[in-house]
Amino acid sequence: MNAQVRLEKRDHIAVLTIANPPANTWTEFSLNQLAESVKRLNQDSEIYALVITGEGEKFFSAGADLRTFAEGNTSTANAMAQAFGHAFSALTEFRGVSIAAINGYAMGGGLECALACDIRIAEQQSQMALPEAGVGLLPCAGGTQNLPWLVGEGWAKRMILCGERISAEAAERIGLVEQVVAKGEAFGQAMELARMVCNQSPSSTARCKQLIMSARSGRSHEDSWRMERELFVELFNTEDQREGVKAFLEKRTPEWKNR
């Protein structure tokens, strides 16, 4: 894989590192590589969780390099917007559980990458913002949609319309991140959560995630409850369901097959 994005596997956990110094910015190529990586991970039955972090100690990701848009070229803008949308949509739809280990500045498309993950852990020195409107642009990779879902309309407007940059502590307070840890500890905590994910049935967690995410689609309660019942029954066609119950009754650790 291109050096801007590194992917490695640790047992049932995939680790993706954004590695484009000095600010770990996204390029059209690295975004396409992210989308392709998630696609391959979805096809790998041995992978249950994905941890994403930034290389170094200062940046998770600063988003796109503004020099990309300096000439005002609409073709370039369209190509980048499509690449951002495709990559972070793929990340959102990752079959397993994705965890962002925010180890520094998460700006623009960097924060949108974290927003596309299921869980966010931030180090105490981290700062987060969607500053696009301040340079004549707008968040085009899910920021205007995912941020208000997590923090509410008011804080989303403060960050997007007023350009307010927030600290890790404030991000935890408003629900943008789930936990704040000391400097250098985000990756370790994210890996601990990923290992907790691996203790769960991957067949169950995939369906649970599908149900949780479906709440954003505006389904009626009646339809969502029906979907819960259907997916519950569907689990009885999996090996993991039988293994989970059997292991519990036999007082042993289950051996998941993800099928």
**Contact between 114 and 106 (Cβ < 8 Å):** yes
Choose the catalytic residue: 55, 112, 123, 172.
Answer: 112
SS3 71: coil
Provide the token pair at 69.
């848009």
Among 132, 153, 243, 255, which one carries the catalytic annotation? 132
Catalytic, 228? Answer: no
d(CA 39, CA 53) in angstroms, rounded, equals: 18
The strands making up 105-107's β-sheet, listed across from edge to edge, are 59-61, 105-107, 127-129, 166-167
C-alpha span between 104 and 125 (Å, rounded): 6
Cα-Cα-Cα-Cα dihedral of 249, 246, 227, 221, to 10°?
10
> Active-site residue 46, yes or no?
no
Give the active site residues. Answer: 112, 132
